[in-house]
Amino acid sequence: MATVTCPACAAEVKPGDLICFTCGANLPQRRPDEDPPAPTTIMQEYLRRDERPGAISPAVLRLAFPTGNVEVPAGTSLLLGRDPAESLVAAAFSQFENVSRRHATVTVDDAGHATIRDERSTNGTFVNGDRVLPGTTVRLADGDTVRLGADITGEVLLPRQEPDPASLSRDRGRDAD
């Protein structure tokens, strides 16, 4: 597999990423027949001003959408929607008319707990098929599905922060005796 790098800062990025988590630049899409990347957003400019070399939070939440992966670092929020002036990942939703310009906000706290809040979207935000009430925050867990409107569904990938108590059994390994 070829290494993919950000055209703005040359940092290594994952093939499905929509933005560079080092400099915040929009990454080119896979298909060359698509429009060029969106211009720098207000949020990207804000992140660049606050940038400190080597102080990048590890991504603790990944939303795997068919149009690409969206990662949310610990201690941050990310707006999902079609408005490139508001959402760092607007390119992922630009082709979906049922996704609002400001659809939902995903937040990951410093402890790695993730939530999603519907931003009073027109066609709703759904977690595991249940509608999130407008303005209401819902906790996300690994394996959940998030749907924006009727158009696009993504899977929540949230690594565990603590070991599973079931894996700490004292009887582990005794079956080999």
Check whether 57 has a pLDDT greater than 70: no
Q: Tens digits of per-residue pLDDT, 9-20?
A: 888 888 878 888
Check whether 169 has a pLDDT greater than 80: no
Quote the Cα angle for 75-79-80, to 5°.
130
Selection from 153, 135, 150 nearest residue 97 by Cα: 150
Sorting pLDDT into bands at 50, 70 and 90, what band is 35?
Answer: low
Q: Tens digits of per-residue pLDDT, 112-165?
A: 889 999 999 999 999 999 999 998 999 999 999 999 998 899 999 987 655 445
The most confident of 25-34, 48-57, 119-128, 157-166, by mean pLDDT: 119-128
Please give the pLDDT value at position 55.
43
Please give the pLDDT value at position 73.
87
Q: Give the whole-angstrom CA distance, residue 147 versus residue 93.
A: 12
Q: Which domains does the chain have, with CATH numbers?
A: 4-160 (2.60.200.20)
* Ramachandran area for residue 129 (φ above 0: left; ψ -120 to 50: alpha; else beta): left
| Residue 168: DSSP 8-state | G
What is the phi/psi pair of residue 174, to 5°?
-75, -20
**Please, which residues bridge with residue 126 across strands?**
131, 147
Q: Tens digits of per-residue pLDDT, 74-127?
A: 888 999 999 888 888 888 888 898 999 999 999 998 888 899 999 999 999 999
